[in-house]
Amino acid sequence: MHSRLMPKPLLLALLLALLTPWAQAADPAPPRHVVVTNWPALPASHILGQCTGVGVDSRNRVFVFHRSGRTWSTPFPTEPVTAPTVSVLDAATGKLLSSWGAGEFIMPHGLTLDRADNVWLTDVGRQQVFKYTPEGKLLLTLGERGVAGADATHFNLPTDVAVLKDGSFYVSDGYRNTRVIKFTAEGRYDFEWGGKGAGPGQFNLPHGVAVDPAGRVIVCDRSNARLQVFDPKGKFVAEWKSPQIGRPYGVSVGPDGHIYAIDGGDAPLKQPDRSKAVELDAEGRVVDRFGGYGTGPGQFQLGHDIAVGPDGAVYVADASGHRVQKFVRTPPGP
């Protein structure tokens, strides 16, 4: 009896056709982080507005840099925001502990906490970088108020700060100068690297910066849709680029050495592809993705900055959503 066998190419096509719908329907791994609902618990009269910077200190207090009703528009106003622009929240309860910064800032942008709990702020309207105590006492000012430049003493829309153990620090500078500058702990210019472009060590809007436990400098190269990794002297080490990472706006390093980035998205990306948070291991592999575009709990309209507390909780500042949200790691399964 003659048997009729299906040709191998046709058999493979049939198997792929059967497997493809199953693969498309399969659910991705659930996120390892979930939003804490009803956090924060702010008075109704306390207006955050566009939240652009967030950080957590050693006492687990959450600092939020916000525009208090002012919105990004160019040319920038010349008068400071009259309301407080730095809010300090209790991480556990979300209650407002204090606020300061009224009458000081024109267009708040980045916020960083150092190991001594000093608060570092960038103001793209004032063209300056500041160091404050947690209570709001000014300790250091860099740059000339309202004057843009590209030399050792001026910035052009500086975006963020990362501080080392010895107090020296990096500034991402930023929208116009497309460079990263290293300063001594006293605020003296040390060196810089960057320049406009898409090659290794070049930038198209360095927007966020952080330093990991190994001393590597991690820069959100926002409009090039990548994270770039450098050694402490600015030598290029690696590029981390993928649809999961998207266009990173802010970056932070957790107590376990993992890197967290917030993808704010840029046109022409579709809205569902925008504004998710990602967790990466030290080699740049994405190990978690949470959030996504929207207005519901755990979603973002424009994720602008991200921070990780000493207990591992993650905080995201949402500029267009006018809020800050808290995420905690889900308990391990059985």
| pLDDT tens-place string over residues 236-288 | 999 999 999 999 999 999 999 999 999 998 755 555 567 899 999 999 999 99
Cα–chain-centroid distance for residue 322? 15
Q: What is the pLDDT, as a whole number, of residue 15? A: 42
Residue 287: left (phi > 0), alpha (psi -120 to 50), or beta?
alpha
| Residue whose C-alpha is closest to residue 303's, from 274, 281, 273, 269 | 274
| Residue whose C-alpha is closest to residue 313's, from 299, 328, 325 | 328
For residues 271 and 301, is the Cβ–Cβ distance under 8 A? no
Q: What is the largest CA-CA distance in the chain?
A: 94
| Residue whose C-alpha is closest to residue 291's, from 331, 255, 264, 257 | 264
Q: Which residues contact 108 (CB under 8 A, 6 or more apart)?
A: 52, 53, 65, 66, 67, 81, 85, 101, 121, 123
| Residue whose C-alpha is closest to residue 32's, from 288, 267, 239 | 288
312 pLDDT above the threshold of 60: yes
| pLDDT tens-place string over residues 9-27 | 444 444 433 333 333 333 4
Q: What is the pLDDT, as a whole number, of residue 88? A: 98
| pLDDT tens-place string over residues 117-141 | 999 999 999 999 999 999 999 999 9
Q: What is the pLDDT, as a whole number, of residue 270? A: 58
pTM of the entire structure? 0.90
Burial of 32 (0-12, 13-18, 19+ CB in 10 A): middle
Q: What is the pLDDT, as a whole number, of residue 28? A: 57
Kindly report the backbone phi and psi dihedral angles of residue 11, in degrees, each rounded to the nearest multiple of 5, phi listed first.
-65, -45
For residues 37 and 54, is the Cβ–Cβ distance under 8 A? no
CA distances from 131 to 185, 243, 313 (A): 11, 35, 25
The mean predicted confidence, pLDDT, of the chain is 91
Q: What is the mean pLDDT of residues 303-331?
A: 96
- Quote the CA–CA distance of 170 and 128 in Å, as a whole number: 14
Residue entry with tokens 């905690």:
328
- Of 50 and 9, the structure prediction assigns the larger pLDDT to 50
Give all domains of the chain, ordered by start, each with its CATH number: 35-329 (2.120.10.30)
Residue type, 62: V
